Chains A and B, each alone.
Chain A
């Protein structure tokens, strides 16, 4: 019976080609616009580390006071002294300081030009904390952090460029005229959004090529390659700089349970209270301890463009659906005599419902197929609107294909409820009489 109704549906599509084409186009356009913008929204709004996002936290301390902060929100990074003090306190099982540095790899072959790579200065905990996958070797140890060791972890891309993909662990590499021993090679690892460094990337950037020990980077007086914000002049020289109130370092802590997080929050407030009594802060305790999802939220990682275009295209879809309701109503009511005959011959209201809903689903499916083609085009065009780092995250995968068809069919059936109800209300006697 379903197959028969489906066949009827297909036939009816052909009977009123004009109305049918209008509906299919409306649904196709509406669905394609929504799905294209949704593909971008999905890429930017995703959770980059779902298994641990509620256990990784980033502490913030208000070291500037209400004069220099906006809406009472503490700076997005820490000063050197705070980052190191919190790190040294070891109040979390795993923790890492982090800041971006620029590095140039100097090839052994003097005729080749140095290669610039984006790098991060981190501690050994960075790798297990963020579950960085390795091709060769491993991250460095806490001991190596303590010893300010000249070790480095490189990415697969750098390993391919410099060592042609061979296992390079144990080998030396020249970075900015200093030699480092390679301890590990990571897989192509680039979580998006880059939750662990939002202030400097906005969440989307090309993968980093190198990771070096924080203690070593500080020894070399490496400046941040990201944002450095000062509320007062730090004065001359490195020593003044790292003692200043300039913020440029991130700190991540892993707190496995709720109790750990509560304890850390207390510790953080205790630390600022201490600073306050030492005369450094002249304002009320103002700290934050956000987990990954809260942090992504607070830093507005999903671009406003993405949200607005999703909103506008959902509005467009709503218009298309209202339009479809009207057209389906016209299409179904045209067939009142036919319905009257069917009802008189013994079809129940339920059967009329079923037939017309299935017919609407056929229309929806046709619209979905058109929408899918248009979504494919739309996703290709995403690169025109969004930055390449975001655009490459938006693609037409099986999930999006199914969702497109589902939304098209679902929305059309939803739109068909009222017209179908009207069709089922047709009085057989009235139709038979008037003809």
Chain B
């Protein structure tokens, strides 16, 4: 403890240099904590469970056809797709995870629609689609032949049988009893017949991260209002060939329609494309973090070296009157620890306010508390590592320096 007094006395004489290192640490702490938090939340977002067998599924989308011909088109396409060797199943869907959304609608639990309960995404699948998707049923039953209704709006005719995701069911009916319950969209009504573990919506919902899994799956009969998107299931190893052949097949069996290339891909490719931006953003933030830590470390090395050089005589004197190498080494390490601690104290406050600002302006979530001590620990180690080389050089100063005339 008696070692602290001279260090503090010295720092008082080098206020500006000490302040500069402290500032640098403070800014680095604020940016480091927030940038790490952003990287981690993006990586977490990328882990979302779609609930479907992504590697076995692909979608083929057509546009530009005459709605009056849609029923005929559906029949021709499904027949054409099923002829492709390796296709395990082909069905009509209105949307797929990570593709174009087809219908987000606000639902209410009372027929009058007074109280909006949630805004889920409505998937519609023709017979076989639910099985092809591979969603895992955890309660209730799958669709039977009677559940498939024709489509006259964006969902099958009321009352439509639907399965919902676990998270949506828990949100709507917190008591856990969702089977047989009704919900409404305006004049349309829906009855829950089953609950699936996961089925993510095509694009993130607007009611927090958990709403990414708020989906409703309904059973529809293909027709004029339900045509154009086709779900293919094949062995993952054969999927890319099957998709290629499917695109060729569509061109021959439906020359009157236009293939929408962008929305005719495997679900894994759609997923990669959907998260491409998050991935690259996380990469860029990691790049900035590394650059920042490097610059900070080099800055500490530079200033500490300068200090050591400035104080060579004093170090020599201390050595001459009995200080060991260890004493000198510890001196510089303690000095660095004090400065960095000061910087971290300010930096934590800065980090907190930066997070609050990001929350207000960019709807970022609140940064969990533990990022602060982790960031502090990282900067303490960084400081100790950077000061090590100059401090060792200082410790190597021979006592004779004190006696040289200079």
Interface residues of A in 34-82 (CB under 8 A from B): 67-68
Known: A318-B27, A319-B31, A322-B20. A330 touches B303 (CB 8 A): yes
A57 vs B63: C-alpha distance in the bound complex, in angstroms?
A: 33
Taking CB as reference atom, which chain B residue is nearest A309?
Answer: B284
* Residue among A232, A236, A330, A386 with the highest chain B CB neighbour number at 10 A: A330
Whether B63 contacts A116 by the Cβ 8 Å rule is: yes
Whether A323 contacts B296 by the Cβ 8 Å rule is: yes
* B283 part of interface (Cβ distance < 8 Å): yes
* B124 part of interface (Cβ distance < 8 Å): no
* B210 part of interface (Cβ distance < 8 Å): no
* Residue among A29, A308, A320, A323 with the highest chain B CB neighbour number at 10 A: A323
Shortest CB-to-CB span from B397 to chain A, Å, is: 17
Taking CB as reference atom, which chain A residue is nearest B206?
Answer: A70
Shortest CB-to-CB span from B353 to chain A, Å, is: 12
* B362 part of interface (Cβ distance < 8 Å): yes
For B358, what are the chain A residues with a Cβ–Cβ distance below 8 Å?
A: 308
Whether B30 contacts A315 by the Cβ 8 Å rule is: yes
- Contact residue range for chain B? 35 or more
For A312, what are the chain B residues with a Cβ–Cβ distance below 8 Å?
A: 31, 34-35, 285, 288
Whether B64 contacts A114 by the Cβ 8 Å rule is: yes
* B385 part of interface (Cβ distance < 8 Å): no
Whether A305 contacts B277 by the Cβ 8 Å rule is: yes
* A143 part of interface (Cβ distance < 8 Å): no
Shortest CB-to-CB span from B207 to chain A, Å, is: 12
Please tell me which one of the listed residues A232, A233, A307, A326 contacts residue B17 in the complex, with CB atoms under 8 A apart: A326
Whether A315 contacts B27 by the Cβ 8 Å rule is: yes
Whether B288 contacts A26 by the Cβ 8 Å rule is: no
A305 vs B38: C-alpha distance in the bound complex, in angstroms?
A: 11
Interface residues of B in 243-264 (CB under 8 A from A): 251, 255, 258, 260
Whether A326 contacts B299 by the Cβ 8 Å rule is: yes
Whether B303 contacts A313 by the Cβ 8 Å rule is: no
Whether B17 contacts A329 by the Cβ 8 Å rule is: yes
A5 vs B329: C-alpha distance in the bound complex, in angstroms?
A: 40
* A149 part of interface (Cβ distance < 8 Å): no
* A384 part of interface (Cβ distance < 8 Å): yes
Please tell me which one of the listed residues A115, A327, A387, A418 contacts residue B302 in the complex, with CB atoms under 8 A apart: A327
Whether A22 contacts B31 by the Cβ 8 Å rule is: no
A15 vs B187: C-alpha distance in the bound complex, in angstroms?
A: 82
Whether A319 contacts B309 by the Cβ 8 Å rule is: no
Interface residues of A in 135-159 (CB under 8 A from B): none
Interface residues of A in 69-114 (CB under 8 A from B): 102, 104, 113-114
For A318, what are the chain B residues with a Cβ–Cβ distance below 8 Å?
A: 27
Taking CB as reference atom, which chain B residue is nearest A305?
Answer: B281
Please tell me which one of the listed residues A19, A322, A422 contacts residue B23 in the complex, with CB atoms under 8 A apart: A322
For B106, what are the chain A residues with a Cβ–Cβ distance below 8 Å?
A: 68
Q: Render B360-391 as a binary contact track against A, CB cut-off 8 A, 1 for contact.
A: 01110000000000000000000000000000
Q: Render A372-412 as a binary contact track against B, CB cut-off 8 A, 1 for contact.
A: 00000000000011110000000000000000000000000
A286 vs B45: C-alpha distance in the bound complex, in angstroms?
A: 37
Whether B306 contacts A316 by the Cβ 8 Å rule is: no
Whether B291 contacts A316 by the Cβ 8 Å rule is: yes
Interface residues of B in 78-125 (CB under 8 A from A): 106, 116
* B75 part of interface (Cβ distance < 8 Å): no
Whether A319 contacts B64 by the Cβ 8 Å rule is: no
Please tell me which one of the listed residues A233, A316, A422 contacts residue B31 in the complex, with CB atoms under 8 A apart: A316
Interface residues of B in 291-323 (CB under 8 A from A): 291-292, 295-296, 298-299, 301-303, 305-306, 309-310
Whether B27 contacts A322 by the Cβ 8 Å rule is: yes
* A363 part of interface (Cβ distance < 8 Å): no
A236 vs B153: C-alpha distance in the bound complex, in angstroms?
A: 8
For A297, what are the chain B residues with a Cβ–Cβ distance below 8 Å?
A: none
For A8, what are the chain B residues with a Cβ–Cβ distance below 8 Å?
A: none
Whether A326 contacts B303 by the Cβ 8 Å rule is: yes
Whether B280 contacts A384 by the Cβ 8 Å rule is: yes
* A182 part of interface (Cβ distance < 8 Å): no
Shortest CB-to-CB span from A340 to chain B, Å, is: 15
Taking CB as reference atom, which chain A residue is nearest B361?
Answer: A307
Please tell me which one of the listed residues B20, B28, B64, B285 contacts residue A116 in the complex, with CB atoms under 8 A apart: B64
* A30 part of interface (Cβ distance < 8 Å): yes
A261 vs B362: C-alpha distance in the bound complex, in angstroms?
A: 32
A115 vs B258: C-alpha distance in the bound complex, in angstroms?
A: 8
* A333 part of interface (Cβ distance < 8 Å): yes
A316 vs B24: C-alpha distance in the bound complex, in angstroms?
A: 10
Whether B288 contacts A313 by the Cβ 8 Å rule is: yes
Whether B288 contacts A316 by the Cβ 8 Å rule is: yes
* B186 part of interface (Cβ distance < 8 Å): yes
Taking CB as reference atom, which chain A residue is nearest B261?
Answer: A116
* A33 part of interface (Cβ distance < 8 Å): yes
Whether A19 contacts B152 by the Cβ 8 Å rule is: no
For A67, what are the chain B residues with a Cβ–Cβ distance below 8 Å?
A: 116
Whether B16 contacts A418 by the Cβ 8 Å rule is: yes
For A166, what are the chain B residues with a Cβ–Cβ distance below 8 Å?
A: none
Which 3 residue pairs across A and B have the least CB separation, nearest first?
Answer: A330-B306, A323-B299, A385-B280
- Which residues of chain B have a CB within 8 Å of any CB of chain A? 16-17, 20-21, 23-24, 27-28, 30-31, 34-35, 38, 63-64, 106, 116, 152-153, 185-188, 251, 255, 258, 260, 276-277, 280-281, 283-285, 288, 291-292, 295-296, 298-299, 301-303, 305-306, 309-310, 358, 361-363, 406
Q: What are 25 sample pairs from A and B whose C-beta atoms fall under 8 A apart?
A: A19-B302, A22-B302, A25-B298, A67-B116, A68-B106, A102-B63, A104-B64, A104-B258, A116-B260, A304-B363, A305-B281, A312-B285, A313-B288, A319-B27, A319-B31, A322-B20, A323-B24, A323-B298, A326-B302, A329-B303, A329-B306, A330-B17, A333-B310, A385-B280, A386-B277
- 15 additional A-B pairs beyond A102-B63, A329-B16, beta carbons within 8 Å, are A25-B295, A25-B298, A29-B291, A104-B258, A116-B63, A307-B362, A319-B31, A323-B24, A330-B306, A333-B310, A334-B309, A385-B280, A387-B277, A418-B16, A422-B16
